[in-house]
Amino acid sequence: MHGNPNGRIDMTTRPLDRLLERSSLRRFADRDIEPGVLDQVLEAGVRSASAGNLQPWSAILVRDPDTRNRLASMCFQEFMADAPLHLLFCLDMHRNEVLARAGAAPYTAPSSFRHFWVSFQDVVIAAQSMCTAADMLGLGSVYIGTIMESPSEVREMFSLPSGVFPVVLVCMGYPREGTERKAARKFSRRFMIHEEKYSEPDPDDLWADYQEREAHRLTPIGEKTELVFRTACANCVDEAFAEACMARARGQGGFNEAQRRFGLHYRADGMPCGNLDFVDAMREAGMRFFERWEREDLVMSMQESGEEAD
């Protein structure tokens, strides 16, 4: 275990190795993060690059065990409760609104797709800076994306004002004793890094690479999984496609990893469902960047808040 009570970067390993060997951590020690260590992690986030240096993000530190338990059950991931620290990363267009008002400046960030686009990047960059710092300090972390399934509940739980929207949660802590950290295999770099212009992946080459990466894993075909998989295929294309995909699965002796991921786990027919609910949740949070901007809205909202618009 890489205990590091002094909050110093462990120089027995090259810092870069920590990055190259990193992996998500899901088994946490029952040990709090020392304030001096956490300070450095947080500072790494605050120091991150930010478009225009507007820093339109906030992170909420959650240490309370009851809240961590609640988040774990909301996200359907029990292990989360063991992490001594949850960091809820939010897109924050509220703070700059307060600032603009304080400085008598016009402000339309929640109505601007440009603002949204760069703000979302800012949130993730800051989160990753903290995760990288955590890795370097002997801690570990894992992103939790399922927090996006209940944005309204999360906004209420953490009293997020209008203009603040949860993006991702990070669980952080020391690795539990004896935890084996195995770096996940990734696509070969040649498929991801392109020289000068985009190079179309060769399907056979890509497939061979993926098969090797996933150790040729096959998931057994069961009555229920066949039904789910067939339904996903038929809903997205048609019955003939479902039949052809099943024939491939039977021929190879199970569902391959692409079939498992897109036909069973991240079901292709389920993932796009509820798109408009997410839009509604953002609207509820005061975001208007997906709508045509009308100056009148601004005038009205300023009048509602008791300000004069000239």
Ligand X SMILES: Cc1cc2nc3c(=O)[nH]c(=O)nc-3n(C[C@H](O)[C@H](O)[C@H](O)COP(=O)(O)O)c2cc1C
Choice between 67 and 77, CB closer to ligand X: 77
User: Using the rule CB under 6 A, is 142 a contact of ligand X?
Assistant: yes
For position 222 contacting ligand X by CB under 6 A, the verdict is no
Compute the distance between CA of residue 20 and CA of residue 184 in angstroms, rounded to an integer. 11
From 16, 104, 184, 273, residue interacting with ligand X (rule: CB under 6 A): 184
Is 41 a binder of ligand X (CB under 6 A)? Answer: no
Q: Which stretch binds ligand X (CB under 6 A): 138-146, 149-157, 189-197, 218-226?
A: 138-146
144 binds ligand X (CB under 6 A): yes
Q: Quick check: helix, strand or coil at residue 227?
A: helix
- Judge whether 68 and 35 are in contact, CB under 8 Å: no
**Burial of 288 (C-beta count, 10 Å sphere; 0-12/13-18/19+):** buried
* CB burial of residue 186 (10 Å; 0-12, 13-18, 19+): exposed
Stretch of residues binding ligand X (CB under 6 A), selected from 20-28, 40-48, 154-162, 234-242? 20-28
Q: Which is nearer to ligand X, 13 or 24 (CB)?
A: 24
Name the DSSP letter for residue 261.
I
**Three-class SS state of 125:** helix
Q: Are 71 and 138 in contact (CB under 8 A)?
A: no
In the complex, the smallest distance separating the C-beta of residue 168 from ligand X, rounded to whole angstroms, is 5
Using the rule CB under 6 A, is 179 a contact of ligand X?
no
Q: Smallest distance, Å, CB 146 to ligand X? A: 5
Residue nearest to ligand X (CB): 145
Task: Report d(CA 226, CA 246) in Å as an integer.
Answer: 8
End-to-end CA distance of the chain: 62
The contacts of residue 30 (CB under 8 Å, 6+ apart) are 82, 84, 176
The window from 30-38, 142-150, 195-203, 246-254 that contacts ligand X (CB under 6 A) reads: 142-150
x-or-dash pattern for ligand X, window 88-107, by CB under 6 A?
Answer: --------------------
199 belongs to the binding site for ligand X (CB under 6 A): no
Span interacting with ligand X, options 18-26, 57-65, 90-98, 100-108, rule CB under 6 A: 18-26
Query: Under the criterion CB under 6 A, does residue 157 sit at the interface with ligand X?
Result: no
Residue 110 phi/psi, 5° resolution? Answer: -65, -15
Q: Which is closer to ligand X, CB of 146 or CB of 152?
A: 146
Which residues of the shown chain bind ligand X in the complex (CB under 6 A)? 23-24, 26, 77, 142-146, 168, 184
